[in-house]
Amino acid sequence: MPTEKQNFLKSGPGHLTAVVDWSDKHYRRSVVASLVEGVYILEHNNDLSIFGAIYEYKYPPSSSSSSSRNIPHYVIAIRGTLLKRRTWSQDFKLNFQCFFNELHQSSRFQQAVEFLRKTVKSKGESSVWLAGHSLGSAMALLAGKEMAKEGHLIETYLFNPPFFSALLESVIKDERVKFGIHLATSVFKTGLAGLNFVVNGGQADDPFAVLSPWLPYLFVNPDDPICSKYVGYFEHRKKMEDNGVEEFEMVATKNSTWNLCLSVLGKDSGSEPLHLLPSADLTINKVQFPNIEGVVDAYKKFKRAHSLQQWWNPFPYESMRYNYNTTNGVECSS
């Protein structure tokens, strides 16, 4: 017997009508989040370690596939971690690989990106969308990056994407102190990048040059420690530009301190951290949670902030678009 959460007639987006307005990005968000939820439900019902699904849109007989570029032909959706007897061990292994920037080595990711390549090759990049939640959004983000480097800009929806970095945003509350630390870190990274340039014989790649035209949709809740640091990541880049020190940030924002140190030492830095993104359309859930009174309330708050359900229902939000320009840095618009 399915639970109420698994019964989508009760837990799903009641505000959606049978005719979806594909030109409205909030309708698109609700539909895509619902498709990702479908992967969770498939796994609950089948217990076959299903981690993704491919949805095909059936165009009405009266319309053609070219009638609107806002309508996808295929949506590739990937679920997040599921605490189930036959799935939790593999899911947690993937989480560790994600934390250590080794997700590209996993068989699940390789399978997903290979199918993505085949679908794009046969149907075209505009016909395919990517989507994921939590761990699934990390896989979708990495796949989208790989495709962008190959010249294919895939429309991508990332719900609560993991951001594994220092705990600066959650520990320090004073904005001036945070900005000072961010500035010092950016200057340090710039110095490391310059040293790396000298050590490696003047060879330095710009990892953002190819990725900058790709604009994934990120959906973040500031009360979710797994994804909340994306807010500070993009806000700080804009603050650096506003304060006239964007030359440091243009170098720092595209590199990780760890990878730069390894490169200076002549060691393979491996894959770049997932959170290094030149451009993004960032939506922040601004819902107000009640005060926390104990561990139980804190856990409930985290579950709500990290849930997929919040993204298919209406909510107060702030939306910002960050476009990275390889010459002038970040351009921000609401």
pLDDT, tens digit (0-9, with 9 covering 90-100), for 57-69? 887 766 554 445 6
pLDDT cut 90: percent of the chain above it: 33
DSSP H/E element including 324: strand 317-325
Q: Count of alpha carbons within 13 Å of 254, Cβ hemisphere only?
A: 23
Exposed, middle or buried, 8 (CB in 10 Å: 0-12/13-18/19+)?
middle
| Closest among 135, 159, 139, 154 to 75, alpha carbons compared | 154
Q: What are phi and psi of 305, to 5 degrees?
A: -70, -25
Tokens, residue 230: 């994306």
Cβ-contact 119, 128 below 8 angstroms: yes
Binned at pLDDT 50, 70 and 90, residue 324 comes out as confident
Q: What is the pLDDT of residue 66?
A: 47
Digit-coded pLDDT (tens) for 303-320: 999 999 999 988 899 999
Chain length of the chain: 334
**Amino acid in the structure at residue 207:** P
Digit-coded pLDDT (tens) for 154-205: 999 999 999 976 545 555 555 565 555 555 555 545 554 554 555 555 555 6
Tokens, residue 234: 């993009």
